[in-house]
Amino acid sequence: MATHHASSNEVVDLATWAEDVPNEKSKVIMKTNDMELVRLALAAGKEFADHKVSGPIVVHCISGKIEFVAMQTTQSLTPGQLVYLMPDEPHAVKAVLDSVVLLTIIFKA
């Protein structure tokens, strides 16, 4: 069964958005040719090792605490904090605490 994706002008509650997903609760909120929004649920200790994407990204900590590594710097993000990164910049994300993160990816034209 396919999971629900947000429609244009639909209100999304990040706290409950992925309740229809049985495991881990990470889920694409919406995706177009121009951008993608993803709710990531990361258990403490979970890590996305060094990787990169072809467009700019915004990583926004909704709850918990994460470490964001990019450009030879490790930064801690707590609820309400975000970081922006240019395209093709290697980065990694690690959950220090159980965390919910909103990831925005802008695709190059």
Q: What is the pLDDT of residue 12?
A: 87
Which residue reads 């970081």 in tokens? 83
Tell me how long the chain is.
109
Contact 86, 56 (CB under 8 A): yes
Q: Is 34 exposed, middle or buried (0-12, 13-18, 19+ CB in 10 A)?
A: exposed
Q: What is the pLDDT of residue 13?
A: 85
Examine the pLDDT at 1 and tell me if it is beyond 60. no
Regarding predicted confidence, which is higher, 37 or 12?
A: 37
Structural domains in the chain? Answer: 36-106 (2.60.120.10)
Q: What is the pLDDT of residue 93?
A: 96
Q: What is the pLDDT of residue 90?
A: 96
- Per residue in 23-45, pLDDT (tens digit) is 667 888 999 999 999 999 899 99
Q: What is the pTM of this model?
A: 0.87
Q: If you average pLDDT over residues 36-62, what whole number do you get?
A: 93
